[in-house]
Structure 1
Amino acid sequence: MSLTQTAQNPAFSTVVRERHSVRSYDPTFKISKEEMTDLLAEAILAPSSSNVQPWRFLVIDSQSLKEKLLPIANNQQQIVEASAVIAVLGDLEGYKLVEKIYNRAHEAGFMPEDIKNTFIANTTKMYSSLPHEVASRIIYTDGGLVSMQLMLAAKARGYDTVPMGGYNREKFVEAFNIGERYVPIMLIAVGKAAKEGHSSVRLTVDEVASWNEFTLDK
């Protein structure tokens, strides 16, 4: 029986408190393609700007390809020990799929046809004319949202993860033949922990939040 099948659907408060970055994985534990697909299906329920959903994923679960990735990712051992490494990418031309997205929304009864047509025209016009810096900022934001949802969904299923920004993006793009329209956001290792992640502390809410008037810098 898989780890997912034995999970007890932990409460969200438990998931967010028990999720830690794990850097040591059981190399014998494998997540099936079916389970990984289910995990990604939960992740992509995350919100995105104009519902463009500009995230794309490269799931690397081939051991030989993980070995190829290892030096690119600064020889971090979780690359080769984890069940898979998920490269989260942002699609600078993701707006080209808005017609498909909004048509499906209309067919599902979520959007009247006139609103659908207006959204398609306006979204396509706006996103196609954005400066590169603005478009990049949007996909980094959306990429962060889907990445966090992926890691929480993994923890809820009994898996562990670690997000990684420490890799050579240029070499990654070259080694894995990533097109110019795609921007690497982060790598996420996912698998079964061999050692628990370290607990950590957080600043209190009072130290990071203010109400109605921003007073934290005073």
Structure 2
Amino acid sequence: MDVLKAVATRRAVKQYDPDFQIPEADLAQILDAARMGPTAFNLQNWRFVVVTDPALRQQIRAAAWDQAQVTDASVLIVVCADLAAWKKSPARYWQDAPQDVQTLMAGMIDQYYRGREQVQRDEAMRSCGLAAQTLMLTAVSLGYQTCPMDGFDFDAVGKLINLPEDHVIGLFVAIGKGTAPPQPRGGSLPRQEVILADRFAD
């Protein structure tokens, strides 16, 4: 499937076949595609918690207002980000570059993030969103259905997955074989309302 078709056909599907298992090779391809996604300064600050333990999935479902896709989808991925990635040996994000580039980038990263907690969080959420979209489009291109989710108790889920203090949860992505078509699209805003030329009107 090409990218435009994947974008057009991706929908949030809520009903899944609980007996279907995604082949490990497909799951690896989906996750590796997300790892190729963009992050500021190449921080690679996303972390993907692939929840497979059935008991843990049940606990997470309870913290997600009993939404069935949490347990019934083949895969539940908790997309997280490391808020402190910027200060954890930042030269390693440029390990394949010459030493002078590693040193330069490490200094730029420190200068940009140090003391700017809101920027750290904003970048983490941007990274999570970009990664989630890559996860979903890759899954759709392989013939699976997906559901992005933020309808859950973030603190409760954080405790269940032992989320480190310097990490945040962005969202869930459920992936599997849907058993029912998605609801019809609710409607799209007019093109001229969302696509602007140069600037907003006065």
TM tier relative to shorter chain? over 0.9
2:192 corresponds to which of 206, 211, 216:
206
Whether 1:116 and 2:102 are equivalent positions in the alignment is: yes
For 1:50, the equivalent position in structure 2 comes to: 41
The separation in 1 between residues aligned to 2:71 and 2:162, in whole angstroms, is 20
Give SS of 1:171's match. Answer: helix
Residues 88-137 of structure 1: CA deviation (Å, up to 9, x unaligned): 00101112153212013x1xxxxx4322221122213432x133222111
2:95 corresponds to which of 87, 93, 103:
103
For 1:18, the equivalent position in structure 2 comes to: 9
Deviation of 1:59 after TM superposition, in Å, equals 0.4
For 1:175, the equivalent position in structure 2 comes to: 160
The separation in 2 between residues aligned to 1:177 and 1:213, in whole angstroms, is 44
Uncovered stretches (5+) of structure 1, i.e. residues with no partner: 1-9, 107-111
Indicate the RMSD between aligned Cα atoms, in angstroms: 1.5
The residue identity in structure 2 corresponding to 1:79 is V
For 1:69, the equivalent position in structure 2 comes to: 60
The residue identity in structure 2 corresponding to 1:186 is L
Count of aligned pairs: 200
The answer to whether the Cα contact below 8 Å between 1:23 and 1:162 also exists between their aligned partners in 2 is: yes
For 2:131, the equivalent position in structure 1 comes to: 146
For 1:30, the equivalent position in structure 2 comes to: 21
Against the structure 1 CA distance between its residues 210 and 125, is the aligned structure 2 distance closer, same or farther, given a 3 Å change threshold? closer
Runs of 4+ in structure 1 displaced over 4 angstroms? none
The answer to whether the Cα contact below 8 Å between 2:56 and 2:160 also exists between their aligned partners in 1 is: no
Residues 128-181 of structure 1: CA deviation (Å, up to 9, x unaligned): x13322211111111111111111111011111111111011111112211101
TM value normalised by structure 2: 0.92
Deviation of 1:14 after TM superposition, in Å, equals 1.2
1:94 corresponds to which of 65, 68, 85:
85
The separation in 1 between residues aligned to 2:110 and 2:119, in whole angstroms, is 15
